[in-house]
Structure 1
Amino acid sequence: MSEAQRIRREKVLARRARIWAAIEPAAYLLPFMVSILIFTVYPFFNVVFMSFRQGFDLLTNTDQGIGLYNYQFVLGSRDFMNALTNTGIYVAVVVPVSAALAIVLANLLNRKVRGMAIFQTAYFLPMVTSAMAVGLAWRYIFLRDFGVLNQVLGWFGVDKINWLQKYPWSLYALILFGIWSNLPFTIILILSGLQNIDETYYTVARVDGAKSMRIFFRITVPLLAPTIGLVLTINTISASKVFSELFALFNGPGIGGSLFTVVYYIYEQFSKQKHAWAAAAAMILFVLIFIVTMLQQYIQRKWTY
């Protein structure tokens, strides 16, 4: 091989190496991107289009026209408005309460004391336990005549409460179950944020004579602001999709449909072959979650230290 051929060959190999270096990341990402396009992007736009198709038939893929009829029907539905109210109350209570409890519990779990691993395991158990199994256990807790909760309340002279079959007590039961279910994941996120706070801040504060409560509210909470914002965003999205808890506790949307949630409403419309109505309800829920999430992000930017 002559010198010119060798140089030419090296240039070709170098060019191929540069091309491969440029496309290698895309090659590794291609399977993931294809799955995202097939299972996320396409279904999303398909639902958006479906929500405008009046009289849509999924089996024949036909409709009677394009318009806002599906949105008018859903927004005028008593069941949907009831579902929207229940979901809003659930989110408004479960998200801040679970976040506040998680901050306190994570702060306790972050301390280095003997036997702390036992408490950490106890708090994280709900994450590795079947949701339906846990729901059945909570159903027995909420039983009117033999439930543990009513037995405890009876010690304080409180009459028996029909938690599972009478509104709004059934909504309160759902909220209590939701708070308990959200705690483990929320605690993990808060705990990771606590462990990223530089210990120097606490040392300096103690040297200056700051008390524990002052340290907590002046150092811990402000430095946890980004983590708390993340927790509120994730839990808002998760709580807005409350669904399986209804089956675990009530075998459905409660007595007379009093516990309809938006996702359960979507499920019911889909089971009735009313796919366009289900799509319209899903898009309304998406828009509401998007607005709330953007509002949270705006507030978080103002709050972050």
Structure 2
Amino acid sequence: MTKQEPSKPKRWQNYSAENSPQAWLYLLPALIIIGVFNVFPLIRTFIMSMQTGKTLNSMHFGGFKNFEIILRDPKFHIAIFNTVTYAIVVVPVGLIISMLIATTIYTKIKNKTVFETIFFIPYLTSVIAIGIVFRYLFNGDYGFINYFLSWFGIGPINFLDDPNMSITTLIIFGIWSGLAFNIIILLSGLRNINENYYKVADMFGATKMEQFKRITLPQMIPIITFLSMVNFINAFKVYAQVYSLFGGKAGIANSATTGVFYIFNKFYVDFKYGQGMAAAVILFLLILTFTFIQNFVLKRISR
């Protein structure tokens, strides 16, 4: 005879957290905060995107007129192109560099905590403050980067005042500013890999590269998926980097205009509130689409 599992108390058999008034009562404070600061602004954005008017107090329904204006605006096309270019370059390149640095720290450096602290400090620093420092580093006359390039007979390169270099400069800054967060998260993932895998691989004579491909990389797929998703969303919302790097402007002749910078100008500079919100809705849908595509691709790769 097989032993029967002890039956659960009757009061637990029909228990459902979703139908428990006490559970919803505990969640109520968090739900109110999320509703006020996340859900309501999102709904309000969709409503305003279909309204027209010169002041916020005199808005009236205008249908899809704002979307038609935005989709025909060449400046918006440039902003979206710059945003997509920034995202598809910064995210993968930043993750690859972060993975190399994190693996090097984890496997070859003894005082890991010291280096982790050094790499994490930029994450705690204001983006505006870092942008001011990079303005000096990228300066065409006395910047350190041009001074360093001169050792190899390159330059000087006008990183900040050349419209053709604006996005490249922004990409370099974006990659650097995202390294700190990526490295810390990747290091936490590397620590959770069972050391026995590597010991067995050493016994069978596997090289370090083979161990990385067969052990480290597959084990890190969930972490890399999470980071790529977060970084893609942040890349599509890039604004502070542009503002700080180009002194409150979107580069020379607005050559570094991004989606969020375009929305800001429409709303706070041109006072075209409906058009600004229409651009925000389009950017939201674009981020949502890219997120779904990214999740689908990463799930296929991880199988």
- Please indicate, yes or no, whether the TM-score normalized by the shorter chain is above 0.5: yes
Percent sequence identity over matched residues? 37
Rounded to whole Å, the distance in 2 between the matches of 1:62 and 1:283 is: 17
Within the alignment, does 1:144 sit opposite 2:151 as a pair? no
Tell me by how many angstroms 1:38 deviates: 1.2
* Equivalent residue letter for 2:190: L
Counterpart in the other structure of 1:31: 29
Aligned pair partner of 1:298 in 292, 296, 301: 296
Whole-Å separation in 1 of the counterparts to 2:55 and 2:28: 30
1:280 paired with 2:295, answer no
8 Å CA contact 2:49, 2:275 repeated in 1: yes
1:58 CA drift (Å): 4.6
Q: CA deviation at 1:165?
A: 0.6
Structure 1 segment 88-127 matched on structure 2, within 5 A: 88-111=84-107, 113-127=109-123
**Structure 2 unmatched ranges of 5 or more:** 1-18
The equivalent of 2:10 in structure 1 is: none
Q: CA deviation at 1:79?
A: 1.1
Q: Which runs of 5+ in 1 are unaligned?
A: 1-20
Contact 2:56 2:273 in 1 (8 A): no
CA distance in 2, matches of 1:113, 1:292: 37
CA shift, 1:109, in A, is 2.1
- Higher Cα Rg, which structure: 1
**Alignment of 1:171 onto 2:167:** yes
Aligned mate of 1:182, from 178, 182, 191: 178
Report the CA distance between 1:57 and its aligned residue.
Answer: 4.6
CA distance in 1, matches of 2:236, 2:277: 16
Amino acid at match of 1:258: S
SS across alignment from 1:260:
coil
1:178-215 residue CA offsets vs partner (Å, 9 max, x unmatched): 00111111112211221221212111111110000111
Q: Within 2, Cα distance between the matches of 1:199 and 1:56?
A: 63
Q: Quick check: 1:157 aligned with 2:153?
A: yes
Aligned-partner residue type, residue 72 of structure 2? G
Letter in 2 for 1:139: R
User: Which whole-Å CA distance do the structure 1 matches of 2:276 and 2:259 have between them?
Assistant: 10
SS at the partner of 1:219?
helix
Q: Root-mean-square deviation (CA), in Å?
A: 1.5
Q: Distance in 2 between matches of 1:37 and 1:280?
A: 21
Q: Distance in 1 between matches of 2:124 and 2:255?
A: 30
* Contact residue 116 and residue 184 of structure 2 kept, 8 A: no
Answering whether residue 227 of structure 2 is matched by residue 231 of structure 1, we say yes
| Residue-by-residue CA offset, 1:109-140 (whole Å, 9 max, x unaligned) | 22374333222222111111121111111110
Q: Which residue of 2 aligns with 1:6?
A: none
Matched position secondary structure for 2:56:
coil
Paired with 1:254 and 1:38, the residues of 2 have a C-alpha distance of 35
CA distance in 2 between counterparts of 1:96 and 1:215 reads: 22
Q: Tell me, in whole angstroms, the C-alpha distance in 2 between the residues paired with 1:205 and 1:240.
A: 40
Give the corresponding residue for 1:128.
124
Counting matched residue pairs gives 283
Where 2:227 maps in the other structure, the secondary structure is helix
Separation of aligned partners in 2, 1:129 and 1:39: 25
- Taking the aligned partners of 2:111 and 2:73, their CA distance within structure 1 comes to 54
Q: In the aligned structure 1, how far is the partner of 2:251 from the partner of 2:220? A: 38
Query: Equivalent residue for 2:254?
Result: 257
CA distance in 2, matches of 1:45, 1:145: 48
- Output the CA distance in 1 between the equivalents of 2:280 and 2:199: 50
TM-score (norm 1): 0.89
Q: Distance in 2 between matches of 1:22 and 1:226?
A: 33
